[in-house]
A and B are shown apart, each in its own frame.
Chain A
Amino acid sequence: MAKVMMKGNEAMALAAIKGGCRAFFGYPITPQSELPEYLARHMHKYGGVFLQAESEVAAINMVYGASGAGARVMTSSSSPGIALKQEGISYIAGAELPAVIINVMRGGPGLGGIQPSQADYKQVTRGGGNGDYYVLAFAPENLQETVNIIKESFDLADLYRNPVMIAVDGLIGQMMEPVDLDVEISKKDLPEKTWATTGTDGKRPPVNVNSLFLDAQDLENHSFKLDKKYKLIKENEQRYEFVNMDNPELVIVAYGTMSRIVRSALEILNNEGIKVGLLRPISIWPFPEKAFNELPDSVKGILTCELSTGQMVDDVKIANDGKLPVGFFGRTGGMVPEPEEIVQAVKDMLRGLK
């Protein structure tokens, strides 16, 4: 199919349908409401289910039920709504169920604002709910990449039997870009869902979808089993992109909307003869630690740029393992910086390094 102009939230909704999503449960919140609205108009044409729940808590538990019963299912929300979904996400991870969750992030804490933000980084990458678990989390920077990742996420969720979160911000949800929704995504070899509650049909013993382990040893075994899966995900799913990596003096680490602004800053810097590269995490959990081993020797420092007060800095420091100085530039609360502000931050950091 040719490219079409679509609004981000609507393109994400259609991408989910094209990724095989046949059930959606959600609750309205700005800046993602066009996504459920689109599915309310179109899901039935694909034989799927759309339901507006009474709350985010109910929505994510509907996802748990539907996924446990074998459906390809999704929910979407924005920051305060994702906070409410954390209980259910923990249960979904604990019961090893697949689900796709879209988080169109806005500013916080609390009710915060409705402008684009990346201040949910820790909520997204640290589990968020209770217990030893992680969700796969992707932070694409444009609509085409978002659409591709959403389509693939349904396979990844099934493959790992784990929730997958797409963390974009309000800007990506609200903007319009040309996008091809029929890009072929390589299909994974997926096992049958023998664990799903579909009724025994008299043909097999009953199955049970559950995250309860009253015996401490059983729960430790389960947690170590999950941990093994998370290690496998870390090995297989670290995704990132390098830009301008021809012997830069400094490398910026930025994702999503921030990386788009950084790209403009790199052009300005390049014209001034200052060589700066960009390491763009596409997966934020697992964090692309591998990329840091590939940094060229020319790099003298790392500047982390975020739409938050610096939530990713810790991950950058861990991945960098004390080898290079790590600086930070960020705007938050819904403020989106001009490329010139990043140019200035780069120059300040370089001056400090000399």
Chain B
Amino acid sequence: MGKVVFKRSEGLSKKEFSYCPGCTHGIIHRLVAEVIEELGIIDKTIGISPVGCSVMNYEFFNCDMQQAAHGRAPAVATGIKRVRPDNIVFSYQGDGDLASIGTAEIIHAAHRSENITVIFVNNAIYGMTGGQMAPTTLIGQKTTTSPYGREEKHAGKPIKMSELLATIPGASFIERVSVHDPAHVRKAKKAIKKAFEVQVEGKGFSLVELISTCPVNWGKTPQDALNWAKENMIPYYPLGNFRTPEEDGKND
């Protein structure tokens, strides 16, 4: 028999993903699952599902899960982590969830340096509710609630959560990555791994923002969506590390 070069991660259940074809939520799930498998922490991990397209990811991750109200995942994670400090707790949130209704919760979780890991999926749109404008929607981007394209005068500039959170002293690890091609997927995995390691080492709040796609609501083929993310999102949302525990304190 040949050598196994790729297999389904132990961090995932047998359940088939419910995402649209070409949606990068699936890739991000796999990365998170591989990381908790490789770190040997599946058994003690507790995840928080958001409200959004990934609302049912409690069916996909092979660890204990709690489903949270829209935007409140960081508060739920805080409640869990405070009473079970030896468990590993992560939240998985979309941009509507984290950058709109849940801005207070994410900012204060970072501010307290809750020892949790946040997986922040930025697809610049509300996927689940049918493609409305998000705080992260790009200028000129058409959505069902910005039918003529987002205008700065009307809706403000798209919010840069990683940059914003990196100004908070309690934020230990903040990195923005993308999953639009295999090389970037590998880098994304490294960042996710680092974010979980920061938590394992008790170093406080870690967050990875992932530039993701929503081919269906962007009205694009999966490949065009990947190209669009690369050409339009990354210039506005630059990839890179905004904060690591080693240089903690630089923004104090």
Contacts and interface: CB of A to CB of B under 8 A. Distances in A.
A and B co-occur in one complex: yes
Contact of A58 (B13, B59, B61, B108): B108
Interface string A182-216: 00000000000000011111100011111110100
Contact of A73 (B49, B72, B77, B83): B83
Contacts of B205: none
Size category of the binding interface on chain A: 35 or more
Interface residues of B, number: 37
A71 B80 CA distance: 9
Contacts of B72: 57-58, 61, 64, 87-88
A55 B44 CA distance: 29
B168 interface: no
A102 B137 CA distance: 41
Nearest to A65: B79
Given A51-B78, A61-B75, A61-B76, A69 B84 contact: yes
A1 B105 CA distance: 42
Given A23-B83, A49-B83, A58-B104, A69 B46 contact: yes
Contact of B64 (A61, A66, A200, A214): A200
Interface string A59-89: 1011111111111010000000000000110
B43 A65 contact: no
Contacts of B43: 199-202
B100 interface: no
Interface in A1-51: 22-23, 25, 49, 51
A115 B170 CA distance: 38
A88 B88 CA distance: 23
Contacts of B67: 95, 208-212
A62 B58 contact: no
B79 A63 contact: yes
A91 interface: yes
Interface in B65-88: 65-69, 72, 75-80, 82-84, 87-88
B77 A65 contact: yes
Contact of B62 (A22, A63, A206): A206
Contacts of A55: 104
A54 interface: yes
Interface string B149-174: 00000000000000000000000000
Interface string A150-186: 0000000000000000000000000000000000000
Given A58-B72, A208-B66, A212-B67, A66 B104 contact: no
A210 B58 contact: yes
A54 B46 contact: no
